[in-house]
Each structure stands twice: as C-alpha cells, then as structure tokens.
Amino acid sequence: MKPALGFVLISHTNPAQLQFLCEQLTARFDHPPIAVHHDFFQTPMNTGAFPANVSFVSNVVRTRWGGFGYVEGALRALRLLYQSADPDWFVLLSASGYPIKTCDSILRDLYSGDYDGYVDHRLIEYSRSPIPREGFSNTSFNHPGWKTLAFERYMAIGFGFYKIGTYFDWQKKAIYLRSDALIRRLTPFDGKIKCYAGDHWYTANRKSAQVLLEDSETNRKLRRHFSNRPNPSGAYYQTVLLNAPDLRISADNKRFADWTGCKNHPRILTEADFPALLASEDHFARKFEFDPEALLRLNQQVDQRWSNGSPRKAFEAKIRQFG
C-alpha cells in the first residue's frame, strides 16, 4: 500500500534543526517518506545521522535567497519522493516549519476535502496600487500593494539597477514596462496562460505532483521565464497548478505565519505563540526558532488539542475510502 503522506524539505543551513524536524516527522507521522534537497555548497552535513526514511537529492543545485535554485531543488526532491515512494499527498516544508496538528487530523482534512492542492494564490493582473516602503505587515499577500509587487516581479518587462538602488536605499530599483502587448509577446502570459502568485509553502496530492513534474511545453516555458525573475518560488508552483484545467486548488495553504511588523520573512514564532497555533485550523507553521524542548512541549499540546482517540490502523482504513 502506498504511503498516505510524504514530505519534501528544502534547506541550506542549520543541519541540527533539519535533523530534529526529520526525527519529529518520522515519529509523529508513522515513518513517512521524506525527500530533502539540502544545499551542501552552503553548509556541509552528515546525512548518515538522519532516520532511514529520509532520502537526499544527490544532484543538488546552489540556492540563494530570491533565486530559482529553491524551486529547482524542491522539484528535484519532489521527483525523488515520487520515484521512491509515490505518496497520496506531499507537504513542502523548510527546516523552520513544524506541524501544529496531529497526523490523523491532517489526513482527515486532506482525504475528506474536495481539492487536489492547498496552495495560497491570487490571480496577478495589471496593478498600480502603491507598494508601502515598510512592507505589508500582517496583511501580507492580501495587501493591494502586493499585487503590484507581484505584477512587477512576474509579468512586467523590467530593467533593473538593483546594486546602485540598494547602495543608495532607493525604493525603486527598476523601471517597468507594463504594456499588455509586450507582456503577451515577451512572456508566457499570452492570455491563455495566467499568472498566479502567493506564499511559497503548500500541500498537494499525487495528481498535482504529476502536473508539476511533467515535461510539458507549458512547464518548460514557465521554467525559462521564472528562472529570470526575482522570488520565483512565490509564483512558479501557483502558475503551473492553477493553469492545469483538471486540478482543484484551494487558496488556503493550511499554513500559519505571522507577518506583523515584518517585510521579507514572517516573524519568528516562540512558545508565547502556542495558544494562537493551537486555536488555528492550519496544519503547519513557520518560522520557528530552534528550541527542541519548546517544540516537544508543542507536540504534547497539539496531541491534547487534536487527539480523537481513534486507533491509527482503523483511521487509515477509513480514509482509504476517499482514496
């Protein structure tokens, strides 16, 4: 019988936190298959210390913040996961992510839902809403200015001067041509393919994985396009999946993140955030500081909050009715 759930992890630093996460996923999700893309160019790591259900991408790519390497690395790990285990569902996480619901409650949501994927997304179209210099804070991807930022990043024809703009702390670091005719001619967004963008982290099923891994003309075109765009991890998956006509994708990615007072990354979560996490219906949260003792206490509270007392094997038999 194929696994119900597998994990795709991408990392580039802090091997101890990555190992701890793999150990906790192994214990709390009944030894699921876990495929990891770790950037060994940035941080060496002893893979022999990891649980046996964890496999590592051998042909790793260099990753840098805002580059296509994170997308490429995640796709290689996704391919490894489905070649070796072929789970019904997969979850994309970083080493700073962590489960905030039990395995049974997550699987119940996934199998009883009417979706092939849970991917934060919104349609990106022409926008001139102002981009606040201080960032989007707790409104995050729902801020009107974020659509402008996404339009500039992923669709407009840009001419950048990032180094000098960063040196002088200019808010504007590029000039953008917003002509619909140019966009249709010079990008994949010709009217048939639409651009979608949102949060990087998501959960999806085997059918969605097949779409992401397909060597199609559309996927090749989108890979070429997004490999030359900033922060492609915020749009590549969304654009591929939302343009697949047979997929049903929810805009709720089942992720908890707090962007209050933040610009490029969500706020670091600590034990003080546990009540909010336990009150959430989300499956995973980020970013956690690496505090093993606190995370083990979170495990106990999650079990108390979400345990339904049903035997694991009986529940697995039940969820197969949805498979």
Residue 308 falls inside a structural domain: yes
| Span 206-217, pLDDT tens digits | 999 999 999 999
Beta bridge partners of 99: 284
pTM: 0.90
Pairing mode, strands 54-56 and 34-38: parallel
Strands lying side by side in the sheet with 117-118: 54-56, 34-38, 5-11, 89-94, 203-205, 117-118, 249-250
Please tell me whether residue 285 adopts helix, strand or coil conformation.
Answer: strand
Residue 43's identity, in one-letter code, is T
Q: Distance (Å, rounded) from C-alpha 38 to C-alpha 63?
A: 9
CATH number at residue 87: 3.90.550
Instruction: Give which of 100, 94, 104 is closest to 275, Cα–Cα.
Output: 100
Residue 259 falls inside a structural domain: yes
Instruction: Give which of 48, 50, 75, 72 is closest to 61, Cα–Cα.
Output: 72
Domain housing 39: 5-112+254-322
Residue 184 falls inside a structural domain: no
Burial class (CB in 10 A: 0-12, 13-18, 19+), 227: middle
Instruction: Give which of 117, 86, 125 is closest to 237, Cα–Cα.
Output: 117
* pLDDT of 10: 97
Residue 13 falls inside a structural domain: yes
Residue 118 falls inside a structural domain: no
Instruction: Give which of 118, 37, 82 is closest to 283, Cα–Cα.
Output: 118
* pLDDT of 313: 44
Residue 102 falls inside a structural domain: yes
- Residue 86 sits at the vertex; the CA angle it makes with 251 and 83, to the nearest 5 degrees, is 115
* pLDDT of 307: 80
| Span 36-51, pLDDT tens digits | 999 999 999 999 999 9
Within 8 A by CB and 6+ apart from 301, the residues are 274, 278
Q: Distance (Å, rounded) from C-alpha 318 to C-alpha 312?
A: 10
Residue 33's identity, in one-letter code, is P
| Span 60-81, pLDDT tens digits | 999 998 899 999 999 999 999 9
- Cβ atoms of 162 and 173 within 8 Å: the answer is yes
* pLDDT of 168: 59
Beta bridge partners of 288: 269
Residue 302 falls inside a structural domain: yes
Residue 69 falls inside a structural domain: yes
- Cβ atoms of 87 and 12 within 8 Å: the answer is no
- Cβ atoms of 300 and 277 within 8 Å: the answer is no
Number of domains in the chain: 1
| Low-confidence residues of the chain: pLDDT under 70 | 161-173, 308-323
